[in-house]
Amino acid sequence: MTALEELRGRSVLVVNWRDVRHPQAGGAELYAHQIARRWVAAGVKVTWLTSRPAGVPAREVIDGVQVLRRGGEFSVYPAAAAAMVRFGGLFDAVVDCQNGIPFFAPAFVPRSTAVVQVVHHVHQDQFGAHFGRPVAAVGRLLEGPVSRYVYGGRAMVAVSPSTRREMRVALGVRGPVFVVPNGNEPPAHRAGPRDPEPTVVLVSRLVAHKRVDRLLRALPEVVAAVPNLRVEVIGDGKQRRALELLTGELGLRGTVRFRGRLSDQKRDELIQRAWLTTSTSQGEGWGCTVLEAARFGVPCLASSAAGIDDSVRHGYTGWVVPEVDEFGPALIGALTELADDGTAAAISDNCRSWASAFTWDRSAELLAGVVLGEVERRAAGGRERRAARSDMAAAVRFRVPRDVAPPQGRRTDQVRVVGDLGSALLHGCDELDAEAVLARWNVEPVSVELATEEHLLTGVALPTTARA
């Protein structure tokens, strides 16, 4: 039985700054909603507590998820705290989604209630891009020392290995952190040919930390080297007017077009015709738009940043530039490579293959495993735990003898068995620990190795041959 099947009948509260109907909803809201709707379909009772923008009802059911809206952009925090104090005991678990500042659920729900914090990316540097020094300092304090004290050793989830690394280094997180990546829609072939002229399509919220201005400032030298270049910017935000003015100052009005928010269909039509997408963001938990483009076979040129480094495979699904100041020459080089139809086709195949590794069904199952593990530990009266052997994990492949039952493992071990072939990602294990686990399972080892970041993101493939 899967973790999600065992979570059936439980009540889970999702606390998030926004929901998918919020006019400024982004990747964090998509992540929580795609998982929540799958939990509901599996029989889990999911309630979503969030802020209430103007013109949106206080209560709504979206894809089976009960959405309750309280407070505004910042007042949602005390409103959520009051609601958790009053009703927190009705839920088996709380999924506390951190968008810079968490909701500090452990302080407001009974100790018997499981709490799993989901972190998309660390905001320590980004607070300064959005707020003045006093407010930025408060944000860093709440995200760092205060959060570390309140959550203690409770289980947390990061959406990428680089986010987990930042949580350890920048925030000093001590408890176990599991990687549950974003999912993606199934890969699709382009509906038609790509544009005959070099075309870059960028999908982004137009806010400070996305640093779209860095792309614009790199374009004059690119336009001089790449004839007939066209850049389509899809999205809206507080920075849009400033970016449009900058486009005019740089003499790029004939090259860059701001499309604003588009329907999913129109957005996908434009992406499918692109040669390339880009990212100059200061940091992301995961490159959602990068993988959305990759599913159509569109590669990405990105400046190195947390989350983006995980979602772009340099030299395979795109290119990663160490410094954003190098973006112009790198963009010229990428478009020059993609001008060759054979090269472009090969990279497109790579992109679709990489995108196919990420599914929302897998993400829903992985997060269910973390939540269920916390529910069971709380029910058993377990004490706060520390991270086991830091964030080490082992990737194992094995064969299951005919007279041995398929192993179950722990909730977070990601065990997969098909016929007599099996694989697992064993958290908190080195190679020797993993061999001991396989011995307890009475299975035949095929391979045992330390897990790579790719294993954490996509899982461990089944073996093809047995060890001699």
Does the pTM exceed 0.95?
Answer: no
Positions in the chain short of pLDDT 70: 129-130, 382-390, 465-468
Q: Quick check: 396 and 429 in contact, CB under 8 A?
A: no
The CATH T-level fold of domain 3-179 is Rossmann fold (3.40.50)
CA distance 108 to 267: 41
Q: What pLDDT shows up at residue 380? A: 79
Question: Six-digit token pair at 432?
Answer: 């020797």
Chain centroid to Cα 2, Å, comes to 22
CA distance 329 to 336: 11
Give the residues across from 423 on adjacent strands.
Answer: 397, 416
CB atoms within 10 A of CB 188: 13
Encode pLDDT of 353-410 as tens digits.
999 999 999 999 999 999 999 999 888 775 544 444 468 999 999 999 999 999 988 8
DSSP code, position 106: G
Overall residue count recorded for the chain in this entry: 468
SS (H, E, C) 259-322: EECCCHHHHHHHHHCCCEEEECCCCCCCCHHHHHHHCCCCCEEEECCCCHHHHCCECCCEEEEC
Asked if the domains 3-179 and 389-468 are classified in one and the same CATH topology, the answer is: no
Of 82, 124, 85, 133, the C-alpha closest to 101 is: 124
Q: What pLDDT shows up at residue 196? A: 95
Q: What pLDDT shows up at residue 383? A: 55
Interior CA angle at 161 toward 159 and 164, to 5°? 75
Phi, psi angle pair for 130, to nearest 5°? -110, -25
Domain ranges of the chain: 3-179, 199-355, 389-468
Q: Look at the block and give the residue holding tokens 């390339």.
A: 276
Torsion of CA 424, 163, 260, 221, to 10 degrees: -110
Encode pLDDT of 142-189 as tens digits.
998 999 999 988 999 999 999 999 999 999 998 899 999 999 988 887
Q: What pLDDT shows up at residue 384? A: 45
CA distance 305 to 104: 27
CA distance 257 to 309: 27
**Cβ-defined contacts of 342-348 (< 8 Å, 24+):** 344/194, 344/275, 347/297, 347/299, 347/316, 347/317, 347/318, 348/297, 348/298, 348/299
Phi, psi angle pair for 62, to nearest 5°? -120, 115
What is the dotted CATH code of the domain comprising 199-355?
3.40.50.2000
CA distance 247 to 428: 50
CA distance 126 to 20: 23
Assess if CATH 1.20.1630 describes domain 389-468: no
- Cα dihedral across residues 374, 48, 70, 209: positive or negative: positive
Q: What pLDDT shows up at residue 305? A: 87
Phi, psi angle pair for 361, to nearest 5°? -60, -40
Of 202, 183, 199, 191, the C-alpha closest to 296 is: 191
Q: Quick check: 357 and 457 in contact, CB under 8 A?
A: yes
Report strand pairing: 277-279 vs 59-62.
Answer: unpaired
Q: What pLDDT shows up at residue 388? A: 45
Query: How many Å is the maximal CA-CA distance in the chain?
Result: 74
CB atoms within 10 A of CB 264: 9
